[in-house]
Amino acid sequence: MLRYICIRILSMIPILLGVSILVFATFHLVPGDVVDIMMGDEVAGDPKVLMELRKELNLDKPVYLQYLYWLWDAVRGDLGKSFTSGKPVMEEILHRLPVNVELMIIAIAFVILIGIPMGMLSAYKQFSFLDGIVRVATIMGYSIPNFWLATIVVLLGSLYFRWLPVLQYVPFSENPLENIKCMVIPGFVLGLTTLSYIVRMTRSSVLDTLRQDYVRTARAKGMTEKLVLFVHVLKNSLIPVITVLGIQIGVLIGGLVLTEEVFVLPGVGRLILLAIEQRDFMIVTGSILFIASVFVVINLIVDIVYAFLDPRITY
């Protein structure tokens, strides 16, 4: 198990290197001179200021040296400084990160606490009326884009259900209860697509496990249905579900940007959109690299859980 974890950690290095190259390339593939685009017309006639800024950003050096300098700073946690606020990019990200963490926790909680039990129940009651409702609901949930649903929720909340805490944000440190109230709806909207996918995946996996010989043997020995489901069926059925959940976390991270923008939440996703509007490339590249690193680490954790559930797995 330890060897498996060590090899998976080492395999993260080339992935993160590849991500860093892509992020760095997007910074330099912007049409025109990045400094001119960033500064606009303010200092267009002052070559001295432009030269100093290029020197500060190492843009006066060859491209490969620029990348090495940028990578070395990123490894040390220095993602540069924001062009607009002048603050370190990492400080800006960490200041907004709690909003993203809370939103992700709520979305994943909905996915796990609702998706897995609903999938198991649907499989156990196969071809029943309940199974039909669950299957239709999951198809609808998987088909509805979360940004469209978020817009509809905000519209209905603003016009008809004014008691819904939409377009409000209260920090957890100020009022925990109000914070949870205003984060539950965005969290559910964010996790709806993944919830539907996990329900269908759990149903399929449980149906396959229920047909296995060891399940029939357990029933023949006189075990109750609860023991059969939770001892023999659940753990073995979760292996593919955990794998899919790890992949779907990437979908959740991608959905953060639009969800935060629609619900006006001050998270990293909204920070990226504001940085794109303001052409703050340091914020954009730093945030994307940070999010990609988080996604890789989460997938590492999922792989470790996967190996724990199935000891037969080796690298």
Report angle CA 210, 211, 215 to the nearest 5 degrees: 60
Report angle CA 294, 296, 300 to the nearest 5 degrees: 115
Joined together, the tokens standing for residue 206 give 């449980």
DSSP state, 88?
B
> d(Cα 175, Cα 179) in Å, to the nearest integer?
6
Residue 45 has pLDDT above 60, yes or no: no
> 205: burial class by Cβ within 10 Å (0-12, 13-18, 19+)?
buried
Question: Most distant CA pair in the chain: distance in Å?
Answer: 87
Which band of pLDDT confidence, cut at 50, 70 and 90, is reported for residue 314? Answer: low
Strand partners, 88: 81
CA of residue 311 relative to chain centroid, distance: 27
Question: 89-110 and 281-309 helices cross at what angle (nearest 10)?
Answer: 40
pLDDT at 118: 93
Task: Assign 168 to helix, strand or coil.
Answer: coil
CATH 1.10.3720.10 at 96-265, yes or no: yes
Reported as type and span, the H/E element at residue 154 is helix 146-159
**How does the average pLDDT of the chain come out, rounded?**
82
pLDDT at 46: 65
Residue 133 has pLDDT above 90, yes or no: yes
DSSP H helical segments within the chain, as ranges? Answer: 2-28, 34-39, 47-56, 63-75, 89-110, 116-124, 129-143, 146-159, 176-210, 213-220, 225-227, 234-263, 268-278, 281-309
Pick the most confident of 40-44, 72-76, 155-159, 203-207.
Answer: 203-207
> Do you know the residue count of the chain?
315
pLDDT at 42: 55
> d(Cα 254, Cα 279) in Å, to the nearest integer?
20
Residue 296 has pLDDT above 80, yes or no: yes
Strand partners, 81: 88
pLDDT at 114: 93
Of 53-67, 90-104, 274-288, 291-305, where does mean pLDDT reach its minimum?
53-67
Which band of pLDDT confidence, cut at 50, 70 and 90, is reported for residue 310? Answer: low
pLDDT in tens, 95-127: 888 888 899 899 999 999 999 999 999 998 888
Residue 44 has pLDDT above 60, yes or no: no
Of 154-168, 177-191, 196-210, where does mean pLDDT reach its minimum?
154-168
User: HSE (CB half, 13 Å, CA atoms) of 308?
Assistant: 8
The average pLDDT across 166-177 equals 82
Closest by Cα among 169, 165, 192 to 255: 192
| b/e sequence 60-95, b meaning 16+ C-beta within 10 Å | eeeeeebbeebbeebeeeebbbbbeeeebbbebbee
> d(Cα 106, Cα 173) in Å, to the nearest integer?
17
DSSP state, 105?
H
Joined together, the tokens standing for residue 275 give 């940085």
pLDDT at 199: 93
Spell out the domain ranges in the chain.
96-265
pLDDT at 38: 62
The average pLDDT across 131-147 equals 88
pLDDT in tens, 248-273: 887 788 788 888 888 888 888 888 88
Which band of pLDDT confidence, cut at 50, 70 and 90, is reported for residue 134? Answer: very high
Residue 146 has pLDDT above 60, yes or no: yes
Residue 154 has pLDDT above 90, yes or no: no
> Taking a C-beta distance cutoff of 8 angstroms, is the pair 274, 118 a contact?
no
> d(Cα 260, Cα 24) in Å, to the nearest integer?
25
